[in-house]
Amino acid sequence: MSRDSVLGLDGGGSKTVLALASRDGSIAALHRGPGLDPHDNPEWRDDLAGMVRAIEPQARDLRRAVLGLSCHTEAKVVSEAQTAWVDGLFAVPSHVLNDVHVAFEGRWTGAPACWPWPGRGPWPGRAMSGGFTGGSAAGAT
């Protein structure tokens, strides 16, 4: 395992997948667990901590953690609770995003794509590292 491993987690409403990868892309650990939606799973904190503990033996060289969590950025109080909990789990820099954002960027970074925009229909644009650059509802950028 490279000395520069990163933890990535996609914690949606129905399931969670956690992966520990080295700089060269090899997977050192893969763990699946229950969804981490705080509205549907009151045990989300314990479930998340348990998944992190499960990969600790392989994570000695962890340098960063990036987590996509259900409901993050949708309600301030939820986002603050998630960020505080994640910050307490890791001794390395961590970053929390919305789970849909993580899944979208993981699949479409740099490619033309379409973001589902509730109430407005599809929003064409381009997925970019760190965010989505949208066009208009009428056409892609």
Rounded to an integer, the average pLDDT of 63-77 is 92
The whole-angstrom separation of Cα 113 and Cα 27 is: 27
The whole-angstrom separation of Cα 44 and Cα 38 is: 6
pTM, to two decimals: 0.75
Statement: residue 90 has pLDDT above 50: yes
Q: What is the pLDDT of residue 128?
A: 47
Give the Cα-Cα-Cα angle 110, 7, 70 (nearest 5 degrees). 75
Q: Residue 24: which pLDDT band, with cuts at 50, 70 and 90? A: confident
Give CATH 3.30.420.40 domain extents, the chain: 5-99
Task: List b or e across 52-81, with b for residues whose CB sees 16 or more CB atoms inside 10 angstroms.
Answer: beebeebbebbeebbbbbbbbeeeeebbeb
CATH fold, domain 5-99, is Nucleotidyltransferase; domain 5 (3.30.420)
